[in-house]
Amino acid sequence: MQIQKTINDKTIAEQESRNVEDRGGLWTPSRFGRCFRFQYWTRSKEEPTNPPDISALKRFKLGNLIHNWVQSQMDCEKEVEVKLEDLIGYADLVDEEYVADIKSVSDWAYKYISRPDCDIKAEKYPNWLQVGCYAVILKRPKTKLFFVNTKDIHKTCEFELETLSLVDDINKELSTLRDYWSAQKLPPAQPRCYGGKECNYCAYMDKCFALEGDKDA
């Protein structure tokens, strides 16, 4: 199928181009809440041993389309650079009162986070650390997450937290990362998200397992 091959080839080429982009070897809030070793290796620009496959890349592409569409509908600042000496990121939506991040999720994930009894702070902890970090630096009192169902983009849900409620968690995340970096000490392999299955989705899975010497460790 020539059209499918063209799509695949271009998608892979775009990802390879993105991989060589340089963010100056800084911490990236979009990775907060994940394994500290993963974050350390990412900042160190280690070569991934398990890059995303074509299926994952297409999901990313769909997420980008939804992200751009939502941004196009909003009358506020977008893609605002947020930078410290050792950190850089880009806030999706910035209003006078809040910073918001746009997330596209599968139909299953959407149903899960839409449950009345869902602890959204716990379930989406890494996302809150990311957008909360932006809100702290930009001095906005509120932090929001906006989710879009990729199966039906008419289905969306929005959650809000006071930025102050995230400050301690953000400071702890940054303090831990900075301690490892200043000591040039590799953090332990410790999954922190995806229900303990973070290793299955890690770009450094093979490298890490080889270092640990046991894939079941």
Structure tokens given for 39: 């974050």
Q: How confident is the model at residue 39 (pLDDT cuts 50, 70, 90)?
A: very high
Least confident segment among 56-60, 89-93, 136-140: 56-60
Residue 217: its pLDDT value, please? 42
- Three-state SS for 83-109 is EECCEEEEEEEECCCEEEEEEEECHHH
Percent of the chain whose predicted confidence (pLDDT) is above 90: 81
The dihedral of CA 179, 196, 132, 68: what is its sign?
Answer: positive
Q: How confident is the model at residue 53 (pLDDT cuts 50, 70, 90)?
A: confident
Instruction: Give me the DSSP letters along 183-197.
Output: HT-PPP----SGGGT
pLDDT at 86 over 70: yes
pLDDT digits (tens, 9 = 90+) for 204-215: 999 999 998 855
pLDDT tens digits for 10-25?
A: 777 777 666 555 556 9
Q: Which residue segments constitute the domains of the chain, with CATH numbers given?
A: 23-212 (3.90.320.10)
pLDDT at residue 16, rounded to an integer: 62
CB contact at 8 A, 207 and 38: no
183/50 Cα distance (integer angstroms): 27
Q: Which residue(s) pair with 97 in the sheet?
A: none
Q: 167-183 and 125-138 helices cross at what angle (nearest 10)?
A: 90
Spatial contact of 52 and 200, defined as CB atoms under 8 Å apart: no
Compute, in degrees rounded to 10, the torsion defined by CA atoms 26, 167, 164, 100.
30
Q: Mean pLDDT over residues 78-91, rounded?
A: 97
pTM (2 d.p.): 0.91
